[in-house]
Amino acid sequence: MSHTPVAIFDVDAALLLALEGAFGPPIDSYLMGWQVWLVEVDADDAPSELELEYRLHPPAGFTQPVGTAEEPFSHHDLWDEVLVQVGEGRTSLELGSETRTLDGVWTLLEVYPAFGDEVTPAQVRAWAESALGRPATASGEVDHDRLGGEWKRRGHALDLPAALRAELGG
């Protein structure tokens, strides 16, 4: 059983703007809704070349927004479309031919060492809070192997944000 130190943040418009301000656009966007950044930690107490993965998780049952025949919608468009609209203060997001609220797109940001570096949950939390300028919701250790296996066994139907919160006691 492998345990990974993590910090989690509940998603709101301010968090998305903080991510964009700190790191720019995600380096990868997935069909399953995830948005990912790999960020080298610049702190005196961090191991050399340590990278943290910042991963936005969609809610359970997430599907990509549908475009129109005239204007297809790609998973690569999702971050930019949401960011522009939350930056305008909108709570109803027009995504392709659909309207969603922010919690219908992402519900949780998970931060953890990208390559298995041995650090503590308190360190991950402190580095992420410093980078984003806001407190984390929770931190601790999670069993990514077990959660990933369960997600696959359930045909991708496991509510990963809820499972992460539960594993952290929240």
pLDDT tens track for 9-34: 999 999 999 999 999 999 999 988 99
When pLDDT is cut at 50, 70 and 90, the band that residue 73 belongs to is confident
Whole-model pTM?
A: 0.93
- State residue 99's pLDDT score: 95
Query: Which phi and psi (to 5°) does residue 66 adopt?
Result: -95, 135
Q: What is the mean pLDDT of residues 31-46?
A: 90
Rounded distance, CA 118 to CA 101, Å? 37
41-50, 72-81, 145-154: range with lowest mean pLDDT: 41-50
Mean pLDDT, the chain, rounded, equals 92
Decide if 4 contacts 142 (C-beta within 8 A): yes
Cβ contacts of 159 within 8 Å, gap of 6 or more: 59, 60
Please check the confidence at residue 1 and state whether its pLDDT lies above 70: no
Rounded distance, CA 68 to CA 89, Å? 25
- State residue 170's pLDDT score: 64
Q: In percent, how much of the chain has pLDDT > 70?
A: 99
